Structure 1
Amino acid sequence: MEQHFVWVTTRRIRPGSLADFERAWRPGIHPDGLLHAFAYWSEDGQEITGVSVWDSQDACEGWRASDAERERREVMAPYVVEESEGFYRGGRLTIPGG
Structure 2
Amino acid sequence: MREHFVWVTTRRIKPGALEEFERAWRPDPYPEGLHHAYAYWSEDGQEITGVSFWDTKEACDSWRASKAETSRRATMAPYVLEEREGFYLGRELGIPVR
- Unaligned residue ranges in structure 2 (runs of 5+): none
Secondary structure, counterpart of 1:35 in structure 2: strand
Task: Tell me the TM-score normalised to structure 1 length.
Answer: 0.97
CA distance in 1, matches of 2:35, 2:97: 28
- For 1:46, the equivalent position in structure 2 comes to 46
**Displacement after TM superposition at 1:71 (Å):** 0.4
- For 2:58, the equivalent position in structure 1 comes to 58
Q: Quote the sequence identity (%).
A: 68
- For 1:72, the equivalent position in structure 2 comes to 72
**Displacement after TM superposition at 1:97 (Å):** 2.5
CA distance in 1, matches of 2:67, 2:30: 14
Task: Tell me the TM-score normalised to structure 2 length.
Answer: 0.97
Question: Which amino acid is the alignment partner of residue 37 of structure 2?
Answer: A
**Displacement after TM superposition at 1:13 (Å):** 0.1
Q: Does 1:28 align with 2:28?
A: yes
Note the aligned Cα RMSD (angstroms).
0.8
Question: Which amino acid is the alignment partner of residue 70 of structure 1?
Answer: T
- For 2:10, the equivalent position in structure 1 comes to 10
Runs of at least 4 residues of structure 1 off by over 3 A?
none
- Unaligned residue ranges in structure 1 (runs of 5+): none
